[in-house]
Amino acid sequence: MGSGRSKQYQATAAAAAAQSSTSMADAKSMIAEFSKGLPMTRDLTDANETMRVLEIASEIIKSGHPIQQFKDACFGDAEGKNAGPSVVVSAVGSAESKMKMKACGPFHMICIYAMYGEQNRIQTKEGHKNGQDFIRMKAKQLEWLFEGETEKTWEIYAVDDGCPNDSKSLARAIIEKDGLKNITVLDLEDAVKEGIAYFTDRGLKAGCKESRKGGAILYGLYTASKKQDEKVPQLVMYTDSDLSTDMSLCGLLASGILDGHAMSMGARYGMPETFLVKPPDYGASGHPLSHFEQPNMMKIAFRHYTRKRLLPMLASIYDTQCAFKCFHTKDVMPIIEQVKSMGADFDMELLLCALTYYKTQGREKMCHVSPTLFTEDFAESNFMASSEDPDKPFKTYAAMTTGLADMHERYIPAESPEAEAAKDFKEFCRGLTWEMYKNMIVKLEKDLGPTLFDYDFTLDQLKAATAA
Render pLDDT for 155-189 as a digit per residue (tens, 0 to 9).
999 999 999 999 999 999 999 999 999 999 999 99
Q: From residue 280, give the alpha-carbon distance in Å to each of 38, 275, 277, 294, 378.
A: 13, 15, 9, 15, 10
Domain residue spans in the chain?
A: 22-103, 105-268+319-375, 392-466
- Mean of pLDDT over the chain: 94
**pLDDT tens digits, residue range 302-331?**
999 999 999 999 999 999 999 999 999 999
The pLDDT score that the predictor gives to residue 465 is: 97
The pLDDT score that the predictor gives to residue 308 is: 95
**pLDDT tens digits, residue range 187-208?**
999 999 999 999 999 999 999 9
| pLDDT of 61 above 80 | yes
**pLDDT tens digits, residue range 76-91?**
999 999 999 999 999 9
| pLDDT of 18 above 70 | no
- Confirm if 247 and 318 have CB atoms less than 8 A apart: no
**Cα 282 to Cα 276: distance, rounded to the nearest angstrom:** 9
Nearest CA to 57 among 170, 144, 155? Answer: 144
The pLDDT score that the predictor gives to residue 4 is: 66
The pLDDT score that the predictor gives to residue 256 is: 98
Cis peptide before 288 (omega within 30 of 0): yes
**Cα 177 to Cα 197: distance, rounded to the nearest angstrom:** 35
Specify the DSSP element, H or E, that contains 236.
Answer: strand 234-239
- Residue 344: band (very low, low, confident or very high) from pLDDT cuts 50, 70, 90: confident
The pLDDT score that the predictor gives to residue 386 is: 72
- Averaged pLDDT, 240-251: 98
Q: What is the DSSP letter of 399?
A: H
**Cα 261 to Cα 363: distance, rounded to the nearest angstrom:** 8
Amino acid type, 3: S
Which residues make Cβ contacts (< 8 Å) with residue 6, sequence separation at least 6?
none
**pLDDT tens digits, residue range 365-400?**
999 999 999 999 988 876 666 778 899 999 999 999
Which residues make Cβ contacts (< 8 Å) with residue 389, sequence separation at least 6?
395
| DSSP code per residue over 16-65 | HHHHHHHHHHHHHHHHHHHHTT--SS--TT-HHHHHHHHHHHHHHHHH--
CATH number for the domain formed by residue range(s) 105-268+319-375: 3.90.550.10
The pLDDT score that the predictor gives to residue 381 is: 76
**Cα 221 to Cα 321: distance, rounded to the nearest angstrom:** 17
By mean pLDDT, which of 4-18, 155-169, 415-429, 443-457 is the weakest?
4-18
Q: Is 130 left (phi over 0), alpha (psi -120 to 50) or beta?
A: alpha
